[in-house]
């Protein structure tokens, strides 16, 4: 025990120098790791953003054109030799574009897709009161994806930001591109998100067949 | 110097606490980073599980449509009419048929997820069902009898705790036929000769299976001999039922009609004659017209136009005939011709189907104000056998063939100024059902919806043949798909 009289200043300085050298080299590693972590974080953010945007839209696009009552068959013209049905409204509203579209439904089964106000959806609305709008507009501009449900949202609500590009494509039953609402049977969605200028970007794409048309 | 050595001596043992603190900080940092890193995979897993659950739910819908519903009569003993459950999987207050509780994807086990599928009828006591099937449709009043052709299919997919449900309204071109001969239209004029021999004529509401030859063995409860529209016919002032009964104006004529007994005080023997002719609201002109429209829209349906411009001006009964169906040496193959040449000519071979591949034949006629136009005239001296659905619209159907014409399925004559005629010396059997639906209330008297002057005429109700015909139609479809 009598030999443990502490360290000399010289010893301490040598130790500090060695530790300093080790720490300096470790700092480089830590900074590299930190950069990788930050990049990973931006990738996660971008992925989350793209996911939110795509998941939300895909579900609602799948249900577009909901028309519970049996539609009237058409047997004239080109429909004499193929199966056609007469719907009172199209699944997609007028003038769909690459960055905007309106989805139309008939939640209350009255045969029309109301352009305003809330309607009663027997499954989702409690006690028969109106709680859903029958038209939903998705629009992309200025890096943000907005959604507006008529009767429910007074203005478009941003559901995802940090989106660098978004594109809708519209396909008819035979797979050809169309912009005529009544012909649309499948919709392609492609979303690219980048939440930081120098961060990672993620692109997600999906094709959705309209289940009700 | 002495103080410094004392200070150093006093700090002996600090290395351990410092090391402990450092270790603790590093441990906390490690745990934090690890937990942060674990959030993203968990989010991905949740999304993936939810997507798989939804896909399982869709698989359940597809499975039910292809194997349980698409080719079935829903009012059968295995679906809506089968074992029904109330509450539980059906939802509070609902009565349904549980089609699957833990269905799996083809070739996979339940570890890849399961789906549960239920089927129920829309019900007029269930408030939400009106919106669910559309406000212009009348809801059904029974949990087991689907009269409006709409049922509600629910599929729930489950994978790793994620649950997704899909509700689909399924519409189908069903016909709720309750008689051997149905006259659901706004005229029910009938005429029949007395049977030329014992057993030559028969209108029979018992359930004849396809293979039955001398007596019926089907399990379906006996149906009416003749069912009519409910109400009063404008021309005659008689109820549709009484008007139909008027054609059977002798005991010999009434004797060949048998079926479900409705004791209306007519004095006929139980289950025969007028006691088996009754009003029934299961079929209406609208139901028939919708059914025919669905049939016409089906891509499997063969449509042939029968026009007055291409008619044979005077056929076997001195009436104009738009199309003639002629027997061939093969029983289920006939030729169909009109009297035109060039682009409007019809001269083709038509296959009348088999039990496993029934035919859907739709003769589209043309309104004739004089009521004389025969849209399809069947002729020939070789046997004809058909399976499926035969429709003649806006014109008469007349049988002139001298060998047997046997149709297994449903024969429908519908539209304005229409009727079915079993003409002199003809030989016809319909196993399934015959429907003559007059939609024009002002057709002049003397033009019958049901006319029988044949040598042999047997119309036997047959559930098996009706189901076979409806299966051939394959027009069940999802008209409302929604994720809950």
Please provide the average confidence, as pLDDT, over all residues in chain A: 88
Whether residues A81 and B299 touch (CB distance < 8 A) is answered with: yes
Helices A9-63 and B15-63, axial angle in degrees (round to 10): 10
pLDDT at B427 over 90: yes
Q: How far apart are the C-alpha atoms of A179 and A80, rounded to whole Å?
A: 24
Whether residues A75 and B136 touch (CB distance < 8 A) is answered with: no
Q: What sign does the dihedral B476-B481-B483-B484 (CA atoms) show? A: negative
Q: Which residue of A has its CA nearest to B36?
A: A41
Of A83, A123, A211, nearest to B299 by CB-CB distance is: A83
Please tell me the predicted confidence (pLDDT) of residue B185: 93
pLDDT at B279 over 60: yes
pLDDT at A75 over 80: no
Whether residues A67 and B479 touch (CB distance < 8 A) is answered with: yes
Q: How far apart are the C-alpha atoms of B110 and B28, rounded to whole Å?
A: 40
pLDDT at B463 over 80: yes
Q: Which of A92-96, B227-231, B317-321, B351-355 has the lowest mean pLDDT?
A: B317-321
When scoring A70, A120, A206 by the number of chain B Cβ atoms within 10 A, the one with the most, hence best to mutate, is A70
Contacts of B418 (CB under 8 A, 6+ apart): B365, B392, B393, B394, B395, B396, B397, B436, B437, B438, B439, B449
> How close A94 comes to chain B (CA, Å)?
22
- Interface size A-B, in CB pairs within 8 Å, comes to 103
Whether residues A6 and B150 touch (CB distance < 8 A) is answered with: no
**B300 vs B275: which has the higher pLDDT:** B275
> How close A120 comes to chain B (CA, Å)?
8
> How close A5 comes to chain B (CA, Å)?
7
Residue A82 near chain B (CB below 8 Å): yes
User: Which residues in chain A are contacts of B134 at CB distance < 8 A?
Assistant: 67-70, 109-111
Whether residues B134 and A74 touch (CB distance < 8 A) is answered with: no
Mean pLDDT of A40-57: 87
pLDDT band at B102 (very low <50, low <70, confident <90, very high): very high
Q: How far apart are the C-alpha atoms of B418 and B392, rounded to whole Å?
A: 9
Residue A130 near chain B (CB below 8 Å): no
Instruction: Please classify residue A54 by burial: count the beta carbons closer than 10 Å to its beta carbon, then call 0-12 exposed, 13-18 middle and 19+ buried.
Output: buried
pLDDT tens per residue across span B114-140: 999 999 999 998 888 898 888 888 888
- DSSP 3-state assignment of A29? helix
User: Which residues in chain A are contacts of B478 at CB distance < 8 A?
Assistant: 211-212
Contacts of B333 (CB under 8 A, 6+ apart): B349, B350, B351, B352
Whether residues B298 and A121 touch (CB distance < 8 A) is answered with: no
Whether residues B481 and A123 touch (CB distance < 8 A) is answered with: no
Contacts of B248 (CB under 8 A, 6+ apart): B190, B192, B254, B257, B273, B274, B277
Which of B286, B69, B58, B296 shows the shortest CA–CA distance to B170?
B69
- The CA distances from residue A56 to A145, B211, B390, in Å, are 11, 56, 48
Whether residues A5 and B5 touch (CB distance < 8 A) is answered with: yes
In percent, how much of chain B has pLDDT > 90?
59
Whether residues B9 and A6 touch (CB distance < 8 A) is answered with: yes
Q: Print the SS3 string covering chain B.
A: CHHHHHHHHHCCCCHHHHHHHHHHHHHHHHHHHHHHHHHHHHHHHHHHHHHHHHHHHHHHHHHHHHHHHCCCCCCCCCCCCCCCEECHHHCCCCEEEEEEEEECCCCCCHHHCEEEEEEEECCCCCCCHHHHHCCCCCCCCCCCCCCCCEEEEEEEEEECCEEEEEEEEEECCCCCCCEEEEECCCCCCEEECCCCCCCCEEEECCCCCCCCCCCCCCCCCCCEEEEECCCECCCCCCEHHHHHHHCCCCHHHHHCEECCCCCCCCCCCCCEHHHHEEECCCCCHHHHHHHHHHHHHCCCCEEEECCHHHCECCCCCCCCEEEEEEECCCCCEEEEECCCCHHHCCEEEEECECCCCEEEEEEECCCCCCCCCEEEEEECCCCEEEEEEEEEECCEEEECCCCEEEEEEEEEEEECCCCEEECCCCEEEEEEEEEEEECCCCCCCCCCCEEECCCEEEEEECHHHHHHHHHHHCCCEEEEEEEC
Q: Name the A residues in 182-211 with CB < 8 Å from any B CB.
A: 211
pLDDT band at A47 (very low <50, low <70, confident <90, very high): confident
Q: What sign does the dihedral B66-B68-B73-B75 (CA atoms) show? A: negative
pLDDT tens per residue across span B242-252: 999 999 999 99
Please provide the average confidence, as pLDDT, over all residues in chain B: 89
Whether residues A72 and B293 touch (CB distance < 8 A) is answered with: yes
Instruction: Please classify residue B291 by burial: count the beta carbons closer than 10 Å to its beta carbon, then call 0-12 exposed, 13-18 middle and 19+ buried.
Output: buried
Q: Which of A86-90, A151-155, B53-57 has the lowest mean pLDDT?
A: A86-90
pLDDT band at B56 (very low <50, low <70, confident <90, very high): very high
Beta bridge partners of B302: B361
Q: Which of A199-203, B31-35, B263-267 has the lowest mean pLDDT?
A: B31-35
Residue A127 near chain B (CB below 8 Å): no
Whether residues A68 and B299 touch (CB distance < 8 A) is answered with: no
Mean pLDDT of A176-199: 91
Whether residues B482 and A48 touch (CB distance < 8 A) is answered with: no
Q: Quick one: CA torsion of A113, A114, A120, A124, rounded to 10 degrees?
A: 60
When scoring A109, A121, A126 by the number of chain B Cβ atoms within 10 A, the one with the most, hence best to mutate, is A109
Mean pLDDT of B259-281: 92
Which of B149, B179, B228 shows the shortest CA–CA distance to B432?
B179
- Predicted ipTM of the assembly: 0.78
pLDDT band at B77 (very low <50, low <70, confident <90, very high): low
Mean pLDDT of B295-311: 88
Whether residues A59 and B483 touch (CB distance < 8 A) is answered with: yes
Whether residues A111 and B136 touch (CB distance < 8 A) is answered with: yes
> How close A70 comes to chain B (CA, Å)?
6
Backbone phi and psi for residue A88, each to the nearest 5 degrees, phi listed first: -85, -10
Whether residues A108 and B297 touch (CB distance < 8 A) is answered with: no
Q: How far apart are the C-alpha atoms of B383 and B332, rounded to whole Å?
A: 9
User: Which residues in chain A are contacts of B12 at CB distance < 8 A?
Assistant: 4
Residue A33 near chain B (CB below 8 Å): no
User: Which residues in chain B are contacts of A48 at CB distance < 8 A?
Assistant: 43
pLDDT at B108 over 60: yes
DSSP symbols for A138-168 = EEEETTEEEEEETTT-SS-EEEEE-EEEEEE
């Amino acid at each position: 025990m009598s030999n443990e009289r502490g360290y000399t200043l010289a010893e301490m300085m040598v130790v500090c120098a060695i530790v300093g050298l080790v720490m300096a080299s470790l700092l480089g590693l830590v900074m590299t790791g930190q950069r990788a972590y930050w990049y990973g974080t931006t990738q996660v953010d971008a992925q989350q953003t793209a996911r939110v945007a795509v998941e939300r839209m895909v579900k609602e696009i799948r249900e577009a054109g909901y028309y519970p009552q049996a539609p009237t068959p058409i047997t004239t013209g080109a429909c004499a030799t193929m199966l056609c049905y007469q719907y009172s409204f199209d699944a997609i509203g007028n003038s769909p574009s690459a960055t905007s579209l309106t989805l139309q439904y008939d939640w209350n089964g009255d045969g029309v897709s109301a352009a305003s106000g809330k309607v009663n959806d027997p499954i989702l609305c409690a006690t028969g009161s109106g709680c859903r709008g029958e038209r939903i507009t998705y629009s992309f501009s200025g890096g943000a994806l907005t959604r507006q449900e008529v009767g429910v949202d007074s203005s478009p609500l941003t559901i995802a930001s940090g989106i660098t590009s978004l594109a809708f494509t519209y396909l008819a039953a035979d797979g050809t591109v169309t912009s005529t609402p009544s012909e649309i049977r499948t919709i392609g969605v492609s979303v690219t998100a980048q939440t930081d200028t120098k961060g990672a970007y993620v692109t997600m794409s999906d094709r959705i067949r309209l289940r009700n048309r | 110097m002495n103080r410094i050595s004392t200070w150093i001596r006093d700090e002996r043992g600090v290395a351990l606490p410092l090391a402990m603190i450092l270790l603790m900080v590093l441990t906390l940092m490690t745990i934090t980073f690890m937990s942060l890193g674990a959030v993203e995979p968990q989010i991905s897993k949740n999304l993936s599980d939810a997507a798989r659950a939804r896909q399982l739910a869709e698989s359940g819908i597809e499975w039910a449509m292809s194997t349980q519903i698409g080719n079935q009569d829903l009012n059968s003993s295995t679906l809506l009419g089968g074992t029904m459950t109330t509450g539980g999987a059906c939802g509070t207050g609902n009565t349904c048929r549980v089609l699957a509780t833990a269905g799996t994807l083809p070739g996979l086990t339940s570890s890849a997820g399961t789906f549960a599928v239920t089927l129920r009828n829309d019900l007029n006591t269930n408030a939400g069902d009106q919106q669910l099937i559309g406000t212009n449709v009348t809801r059904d009043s029974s949990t087991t009898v689907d009269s409006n052709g709409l049922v509600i299919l629910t599929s729930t997919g489950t994978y790793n705790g994620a649950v997704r449900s899909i509700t689909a309204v399924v519409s189908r071109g069903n016909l709720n036929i309750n008689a051997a001969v149905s006259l659901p239209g706004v005229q029910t004029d009938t005429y029949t000769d007395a049977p030329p021999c014992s057993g030559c004529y028969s209108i029979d509401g018992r359930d004849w299976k396809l293979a039955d030859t001398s007596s019926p063995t089907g399990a379906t409860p006996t149906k009416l001999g003749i069912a009519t529209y409910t109400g009063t016919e404008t021309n005659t002032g008689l109820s549709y039922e009484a008007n139909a009964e008027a054609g059977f104006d002798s005991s010999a004529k009434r004797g060949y009609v048998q079926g479900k007994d409705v004791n209306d005080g007519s004095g006929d023997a139980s289950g025969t004659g007028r006691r088996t002719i009754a009003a029934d609201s299961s079929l209406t002109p609208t139901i028939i017209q919708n059914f025919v429209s669905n049939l016409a829209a089906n891509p499997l349906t063969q449509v042939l136009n029968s026009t007055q411009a291409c008619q044979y001006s005077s056929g076997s009964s001195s009436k104009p005939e738009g199309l003639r169906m002629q027997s061939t040496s093969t029983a289920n193959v006939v030729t169909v011709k009109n009297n035109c040449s060039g682009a409007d000519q019809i001269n083709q071979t038509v296959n009348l189907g088999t039990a496993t591949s029934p035919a859907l034949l739709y003769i589209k006629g043309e309104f004739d104000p004089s009521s004389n136009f025969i849209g399809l005239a069947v002729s020939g001296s070789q046997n004809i056998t058909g399976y499926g659905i035969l429709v003649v619209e806006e014109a008469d159907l007349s049988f002139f063939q001298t060998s047997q014409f046997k149709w297994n399925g449903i024969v429908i004559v519908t539209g304005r100024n229409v009727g079915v005629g079993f003409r002199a010396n003809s030989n016809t059997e319909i196993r399934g059902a015959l429907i003559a639906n007059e939609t024009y209330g002002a057709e002049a008297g003397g033009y019958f919806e049901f006319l029988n002057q044949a040598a042999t005429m047997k119309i036997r109700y047959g559930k098996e043949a009706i189901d076979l015909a409806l299966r051939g139609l394959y027009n069940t479809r999802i008209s409302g798909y929604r994720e809950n």
